[in-house]
Amino acid sequence: MKAGVLIHLPWLAALALMTAPAAAATIEVTIDKLVFSPATVEAKVGDTVEWVNKDVVAHTATVKGGWEVMIPPKKSASLTLKAAGAIDYFCRFHPNMRGHMNVAP
Ligand SMILES: [Cu+2]
């Protein structure tokens, strides 16, 4: 009985790995002194991007013709990615602030 359980454990572990859905990640982007860091992130659909604003002024993550996330001073804000693609975003208040994300399906 005991030997039988031991033999089956690796198989069950392998099965669990195969059937578990890919876990969605949270990707943190820090804003410090008007800079998104990292400026480019690799993500996948279902992941959440969280912007952490260390500045004393508000920023946005804005996609032209797309979504916009407001990030208040000393606060954070997040967005769950729903579509794949290469995304360029910027801050509406400081257009020189630019970020990029590659979202895999
Ligand atoms: Cu800004």
**Is 8 a member of any domain?**
no
Output the CA 48–ligand 1 centroid distance in Å.
20
Is the pLDDT score of 12 beyond 90? Answer: no
**Total domain count for the chain?**
1
**Is 96 a member of any domain?**
yes
* 43 compared with 12, residue with greater pLDDT: 43
Q: What is the C-alpha radius of gyration for the chain, rounded to an integer number of angstroms?
A: 20
Determine the pLDDT at residue 23.
86
CATH number at residue 91: 2.60.40.420
Output the CA 79–ligand 1 centroid distance in Å.
17
Is the pLDDT score of 5 beyond 70? Answer: no
**Is 11 a member of any domain?**
no
**Is 5 a member of any domain?**
no
- What domain range is 86 assigned to? 23-104
Determine the pLDDT at residue 32.
98
Spatial neighbors of 27 by CB under 8 A, at least 6 apart, are 41, 43, 47, 48, 49, 50
Output the CA 11–ligand 1 centroid distance in Å.
51
Q: pLDDT digit string (tens) for 50-81? A: 999 999 999 999 999 999 999 999 999 999 99
pTM passes above 0.85 = no
**Is 6 a member of any domain?**
no
Q: pLDDT digit string (tens) for 19-54? A: 556 689 999 999 999 999 999 999 999 999 999 999
**Is 16 a member of any domain?**
no
Determine the pLDDT at residue 7.
57
Omega prior to 38 cis, within 30 of 0: yes
**Is 7 a member of any domain?**
no
**Is 45 a member of any domain?**
yes
Is the pLDDT score of 1 beyond 70? Answer: no
